[in-house]
Amino acid sequence: MTATIIKGTEVRDKILEEIEAEVAEIKEKHGVVPGLVTILLGEDPASISYVTAKIKTAHKLGFNEIQESQSPDLSEEALLDLVEKYNKDDSINGILVQLPLPNHIDDKKVLNAIDPDKDVDGFHPVNVGRLMIGGDAIKFPPCTPAGIQEMIVRSGVETSGAEVVVVGRSNIVGKPIANLMLQKGPGANSTVTIVHTRTKDLAAHCKRADILIVAAGVPGLVKPEWIKPGACVIDVGVNRIGEKISEKTGKKIAILSGDVDFDAAKEIAGYITPVPGGVGPMTITMLMKNTLKSLKFKLGIA
């Protein structure tokens, strides 16, 4: 059996189309568009490339997009002032401070300063709490986990009663996706296990999984024989395993690999995401969805 490949680029295009239509409708009815500010300190190439993609997507959707490119030497106090400025700005519905921040800045302090109702990353403790409570309390699910759930649901994979095994316990992926999948409601209702570096028998847990979500950051960690035949495998790993020359641009680019041996795993799984082109494109998509949601909350139409 060869698995159905879940392409993040296709799911992304569909969701962006839905967002674009909704933005146009809100603009016509209410005369406003979603506003997103992205705050970037310094010139880290990976951060610049994320931020550039975010700006491009926001513009394409008709958002009001503000880019705050600041010096890497900006003081913590000045950054907190900047966050406060956008907390108070009525035209802004989402504030994103690009991580990682320079070492002289306490990132927790900065993330905690963002108004929870503009925290479209879903990293503020209030939004983490809302996610734990579940149901209507959830305002902004973190973008990568929300994207994973969309990919599973839109592929028609049954989640209710499914054994979901999450490999990795990070605050950005492992813990929140586990929380989303165990909630009462459509696209969830799963039985969830989180496994990690101290788990005794990783293989035994993975072999039970109807839905296996791997976010460990270890290339090839999950062996093909650990996959239950027909399972849905979501590979969140983005590991740089070398460099090559791009055929398109002639420039050096990273060779990326996931946490799962894709070629072998696709012969066993029922559904599988590739790396690159799987979960990756979903993060920015869900950021746009959360920003739109923030405006809808404000307008009382969410």
Residues recognised as catalytic: 54, 98, 121
Nearer to ligand GUN (CB atom), residue 68 or residue 210: 68
Scanning 76-84, 94-102, 212-220, 259-267 for contacts with ligand GUN by CB under 6 A, the matching segment is 94-102
Of residues 225, 235, 229, the one with CA closest to residue 280: 235
Q: Could you tell me which residues come within 8 angstroms of residue 13 by beta carbon, excluding any fewer than 6 positions away?
A: none
98: DSSP letter? P
For residues 283 and 144, is the Cβ–Cβ distance under 8 A?
yes
Nearer to ligand GUN (CB atom), residue 124 or residue 228: 124
Scanning 10-18, 95-103, 128-136, 230-238 for contacts with ligand GUN by CB under 6 A, the matching segment is 95-103
Among residues 41, 82, 92, 96, the one that binds ligand GUN under rule CB under 6 A: 96
Q: Binders of ligand GUN among 106-165, rule CB under 6 A?
A: 121, 143
Among residues 50, 140, 226, 262, the one that binds ligand GUN under rule CB under 6 A: 50
Smallest distance, ligand GUN to C-beta of residue 205, A:
27
Six token digits for residue 246:
């791009």
Among residues 15, 92, 97, 151, the one that binds ligand GUN under rule CB under 6 A: 97
Six token digits for residue 169:
């316990």
Smallest distance, ligand GUN to C-beta of residue 271, A:
24
Six token digits for residue 265:
């795993």
For residues 54 and 38, is the Cβ–Cβ distance under 8 A?
yes
Smallest distance, ligand GUN to C-beta of residue 36, A:
12
Q: Binders of ligand GUN among 229-248, rule CB under 6 A?
A: none
Distance (Å, whole) CA 63 – CA 286? 14
Residue 209 in the binding site for ligand GUN (CB under 6 A): no
Six token digits for residue 238:
């983005």
Nearer to ligand GUN (CB atom), residue 210 or residue 259: 259
The helix or strand, by DSSP H or E, that contains position 105, with its residue range, turns out to be none
Of residues 58, 49, 131, the one with CA closest to residue 93: 58
Q: What angle do CA 146, 150, 37 make, to 5 degrees?
A: 45
Among residues 57, 93, 190, 283, the one that binds ligand GUN under rule CB under 6 A: 283
Smallest distance, ligand GUN to C-beta of residue 264, A:
29
Distance, CA of 112 to chain centre: 19
Scanning 11-19, 91-99, 228-236, 294-302 for contacts with ligand GUN by CB under 6 A, the matching segment is 91-99
Peptide bond before residue 34 is cis, with ω within 30 degrees of 0: no
Contact residues toward ligand GUN (CB under 6 A) are: 50, 96-99, 121, 143, 283
